[in-house]
Structure formats: C-alpha cells, structure tokens
C-alpha cells in the first residue's frame, strides 16, 4: 500500500541511496586512512634504517628495546652472515608494508647483511569511522542529501500531487487555478496538456449540448412544417380557383398575390424539410429548358412587381434525369435571389444549352444587380450563410446540394459588367422522347 504512493517510493529509494552512499564513503575513507598509515609506517622504518646506517650502530637487544620504546612498535634485526640480504630473504626488504598473521611488517636494509624490521598489530577495519574528519565528511554528505531530497520533494512530488488533486475536476466548469502550468519543465508540459484537454472537453460538451438543443428544435420545426404544409397548399389551391372566377381585376390580383405568397411559404417549408430530412430524389427524364421556363412563369408576378425584365434562351437544351420538383426549387430560388439583388429593377438573362465538348447541360442565370460580395462568393454553399436582413441562408446551399445530388455542379461569379451569375452544370441524359418538363411520360 505504502509503495503505491509516489512520495514513499521516491523517499525509500532516496534513503537507500543515502545509506549505500554513506557506507561507500566510509569504505573509501577507511582505505585512504589505512594507506596513509602504511606509508607513514614505511617512512618510519626508512628514516630509522638510514639513521642506523649513518650511526653504524651494531644491532643489539638494548638497541631493539630502546627503539621499540621510542617508535611504539616491535623492532627486530634480521642478519644473514654469508649471503646478501636480498638473496636470502623470503620477505621484501624494500620498505614496502606486508601483512602476515594479523600483523603488518616493514623491513628496510641497514647494511648488506642486516635489515631493520618493524612490525605492529594490524589496525581494525572501520577505525576511520571514529575519526572526526570522517564524521564531518559524512555529516556534509547527509546535509547535501537532505537538501537535494527537499528540492526533489518540492520540485517533483509536490507539483505532481497538486496536479493529481486537480484531475478529478476535469469535468467541473469552475475556473482552474493551476500554478504548475507556469513551469517550463516536463511537469509544466503535463499540466498544460491537462488544461488544454479540460478546455477541449468543455468545448466539446458545450457544442454537444448546443447540438442536442438544435436537434430538439429541428424536430419541433419539422413537425410544425408538416402541419403547416397542408393548410398552405389548401390556401394556394383556393386562391388559384378564386383567381379564375374573380369578378373583377382587383379581386384577381388579390387572389394572385395570395397564391404567390402561399407558394413562397410552401417553398420555404419544402426547403426546410429537405434540410431536416433529405429524401432520395425521384428520377424521371426532364426537358430542362421547359422546366426553367415553367419556373419563370411561376415567379412572373414577383418579377413584374420588382420591374425585372427576363430574357430566356434555350439552345439545344437537352434532357437530364432527375427530380423535377427539386430542380424547379433550385431555379425558383435563383430567380428569387436575383429579384432581391435588383431592388430597383433590372435585367435577368437565363440561358439553357448543351455544351457539345462534354455533353453537359448548362443553365446560366445572370442579373444586373449588386453582385456577390467577397464573403458570399466564398461561402454561398454554407447552410445558414446569409447577408440579408431576415434571410435564412438556405436558398443557395439547398440549390447546391440538389444540383450535386443530380451529379452536377453549381458555381457563382460576378460579371465584368456588374451583377451576379450562377452557373449550373448537369449531366445530359441522352435522347429520351415524350417526357414533359414535370418529369411525366
């Protein structure tokens, strides 16, 4: 249990390091002291041998005894009468210290046949421990170890502990005071990574909550759109009937207005439903020029009201395979956008043709309005991008999606003469016959 705590593990390893370090230190000092003692012993022997050589004193028990008293160790003379000392002796006589049976000896020649031998008890190991120098070196080592232990504790264990204490707060929304994040080292890196992960988690949670709210809103509005669609269709149909049977011009224009507005509401609802839950497109052969023409007629009242003149040309317009209802939604959206871009009236040129080089059907819708802004040129296909007061920002994005679903491409640019141009490319179907603009055979 204790070993699971980082501070205990570091503390115990550190204590083991201090213990082993202390033993090693004492061992090294002990060896050093022993070496110094030996060299002093050898020096003692050499000095006395030199003195005896110079004084030419003959070895005698009296000399032994006097020297033993002065030197504090045993003194002997080894004499070989008939051969040189270095050939006779089995022990070194060169002044090196050697050990034998618990004693240490040093022998130095006094003359050719006599050597002075000093011997004493070998000093016990670890005697250095009793020396003051050893104790002060050990105390310094312990002090330095204690100071570095304190620094390791403050520099590593303490910040790690405070970081670990913050970890359970990763989910909390309260502000986080994490001083460790200011550090420049690896612990600081970990703390900064923790702070970054926490804020990423919070952002992710907030956006999930926003998405959940939006999903609820989306479900509500979709249900609402479905509910509104039927009464709006009924209003539109009755307005159409009323327009046909109107008693005078005034009544007919009111009915036309009601029909137009209910169609606009229906368009909006269909676009919303397409966004909320796009259904697979219906597939039929469509004469694209006829479909565009129908859309111009459907928006005629709005065009006239805005004093927009339309020119329409269809050159070898061709057919495409697709969903007529959705494609007419595209063209109506583009015409309505063009009307809104020309509040004081203008010119709308719509052209449909097949490009012989690649067989694509091209529809271009060019107006003489204000043209696309830089932002609109870049972001026109984003859902909810709008620059209009009260705009929903789904007209062009839905149109782009519908065209893409037909294997085509919708592009926008501004004309050199001013005004905007929307280009639609759709794949040509082939030479199917007898299918009208609404896709019915």
Q: Which residues bind ligand ADP (CB under 6 A)?
A: 337-338, 341, 367, 369-373, 376, 380, 385-388, 391-397, 420
Complex with ligand ADP: residue 152 or 421, whichever CB lies closer: 421
Judge whether 433 and 318 are in contact, CB under 8 Å.
no
Complex with ligand ADP: residue 290 or 420, whichever CB lies closer: 420
Cβ-in-10-Å burial (0-12, 13-18, 19+) of 138 comes to: middle
Cβ-in-10-Å burial (0-12, 13-18, 19+) of 422 comes to: buried
Q: What angle do CA 348, 351, 353 make, to 5 degrees?
A: 175
Least separation in angstroms between residue 422's CB and ligand ADP is 7
Complex with ligand ADP: residue 113 or 386, whichever CB lies closer: 386
* Alpha-helical regions (H) of 158-287: 158-166, 186-244, 249-276
Least separation in angstroms between residue 403's CB and ligand ADP is 13
Least separation in angstroms between residue 292's CB and ligand ADP is 16
Complex with ligand ADP: residue 22 or 340, whichever CB lies closer: 340
Q: Write the DSSP assignment of 313-380 as a string of letters.
A: EEES--EEEE-HHHHHHHHHHHHHHHHHH-TT-EEEEEEEEE-TTT-EEEEEEEESSS---HHHHHHT
The residue to which tokens 């012989």 are assigned: 356
Least separation in angstroms between residue 376's CB and ligand ADP is 4
Q: How far, in Å, CA of 168 to CA of 130, rounded?
A: 54
Complex with ligand ADP: residue 14 or 385, whichever CB lies closer: 385
Q: How far, in Å, CA of 104 to CA of 101, rounded?
A: 8
Least separation in angstroms between residue 218's CB and ligand ADP is 18
Q: How far, in Å, CA of 437 to CA of 328, rounded?
A: 10
Complex with ligand ADP: residue 227 or 387, whichever CB lies closer: 387
CB within 8 Å of 74: residues ≥ 6 apart: 68, 118, 119, 120
Least separation in angstroms between residue 200's CB and ligand ADP is 32
Least separation in angstroms between residue 356's CB and ligand ADP is 28
Least separation in angstroms between residue 176's CB and ligand ADP is 41
Provide the 8-state DSSP code for 171.
G
Complex with ligand ADP: residue 105 or 372, whichever CB lies closer: 372
Beta bridge partners of 365: 350, 422
Nearest residue (beta carbon) to ligand ADP: 395
Complex with ligand ADP: residue 318 or 371, whichever CB lies closer: 371
């Amino acid at each position: 249990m204790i070993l699971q705590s980082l501070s205990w593990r570091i503390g115990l390893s550190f204590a083991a390091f201090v213990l082993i370090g202390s033993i090693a230190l004492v061992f090294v000092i002990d060896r050093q002291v022993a070496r110094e003692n030996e060299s002093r012993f050898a020096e003692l022997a050499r000095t006395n041998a030199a003195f005896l050589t110079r004084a030419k004193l003959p070895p005698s028990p009296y000399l032994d005894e006097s020297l033993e008293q002065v030197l504090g160790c045993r003194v002997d003379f080894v004499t070989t009468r008939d051969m040189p000392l270095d050939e006779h002796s089995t022990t070194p006589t060169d002044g090196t210290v050697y050990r034998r049976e618990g004693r240490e000896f040093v022998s130095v020649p006094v003359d050719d046949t006599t050597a002075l031998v000093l011997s004493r008890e070998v000093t016990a190991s670890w005697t250095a421990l009793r020396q003051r120098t050893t104790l002060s070196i050990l105390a310094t080592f312990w002090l330095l170890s204690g100071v570095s232990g304190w620094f390791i504790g403050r520099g590593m264990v303490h910040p790690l502990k405070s970081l670990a204490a913050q970890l359970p707060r990763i989910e909390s929304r309260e502000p986080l005071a994490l001083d460790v994040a200011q550090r420049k080292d690896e612990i600081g890196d970990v703390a900064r990574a923790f702070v970054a992960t926490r804020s990423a988690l919070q952002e992710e949670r907030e956006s999930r909550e926003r998405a959940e709210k939006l999903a609820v809103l989306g479900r509500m509005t979709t249900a609402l759109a479905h509910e509104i669609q039927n009464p709006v269709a009924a209003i539109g149909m009755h307005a159409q009937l009323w327009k046909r049977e109107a008693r005078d011009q005034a009544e007919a224009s009111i009915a036309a207005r009601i029909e137009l507005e209910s169609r606009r509401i229906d368009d909006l609802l269909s676009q919303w439903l397409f966004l909320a839950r796009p259904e697979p497109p219906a597939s039929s052969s469509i004469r694209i020029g006829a479909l565009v023409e129908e859309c111009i007629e459907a928006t005629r009242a709005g065009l006239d009201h805005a004093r927009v003149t339309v020119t329409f040309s269809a050159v070898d317009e061709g057919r495409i395979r697709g969903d007529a209802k959705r494609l007419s939604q595209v063209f109506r959206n583009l015409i309505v956008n063009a009307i809104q871009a020309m509040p004081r009236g203008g010119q709308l040129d719509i052209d449909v043709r097949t490009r012989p080089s690649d067989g694509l059907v091209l529809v271009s819708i060019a107006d003489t309005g204000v043209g696309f802004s830089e932002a609109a040129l870049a972001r026109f296909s984003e859902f909810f991008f709008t620059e209009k007061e009260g705009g929903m920002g789904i007209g062009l994005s839905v149109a782009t999606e519908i065209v893409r679903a037909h294997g085509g491409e919708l592009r926008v640019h501004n004309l050199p003469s001013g005004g905007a141009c929307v280009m639609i490319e759709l794949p040509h179907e082939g030479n199917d016959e007898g299918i009208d603009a609404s896709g019915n055979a």
